[in-house]
Amino acid sequence: MRIPLMSAVLIMLPTVAFAQCDFDQPVGSCRATIAIGSTSDSKGNYSAEATVRSSASSCSKIEYFLDNTPQTTVIKNGTSAEESFFGTKPITKKSVQVKKCTQFASKDTDGKKNGGRDVVDGRTAGIAGPKYFEGRWKGFCRPSGLRRPR
């Protein structure tokens, strides 16, 4: 009973498309934030859980300093990643300074580079969102549900 039920659940789950990034080809900059979550102290050893967020939809690299020590977080899929910080001083929001956020090119499912843009409903979307038709339409446009009379 468990196996068929688990199979049915797995079939109904949506498939997740993972971005394939080309980190040799930067396509622009992005904005990054780092939020410090839970912190702990154990005999002079400090740790913190943090969330690193990028304004890019995928394929971004965030460079930052943690107590003047350079750090890097790479986000391939999505807009955020969880990190664990460790140090000899208490870790606070002031301990972390974002230096740079770079968006890199991604490849679509066919392996073609799309310049770091997402494909939304068959259209290429830039960093600011999907691009819509601008200009004048010339010609006849028939709704797809209507057929030409014979």
Q: What is the pLDDT of residue 43?
A: 85
Q: What is the pLDDT of residue 49?
A: 96
Answer left, alpha or beta for residue 11, where phi above 0 means left and psi between -120 and 50 means alpha. Answer: alpha
Q: Distance between CA 132 and CA 112 in Å, rounded?
A: 22
Note the pLDDT tens digit of each residue in 44-97: 899 999 999 999 999 999 999 999 999 999 999 999 999 999 998 999 999 999
- Show the domains of the chain with their CATH numbers: 18-105 (2.60.40)
Predicted structure pTM score: 0.61
Residue 51 contacts residue 62 (beta carbons within 8 Å): no
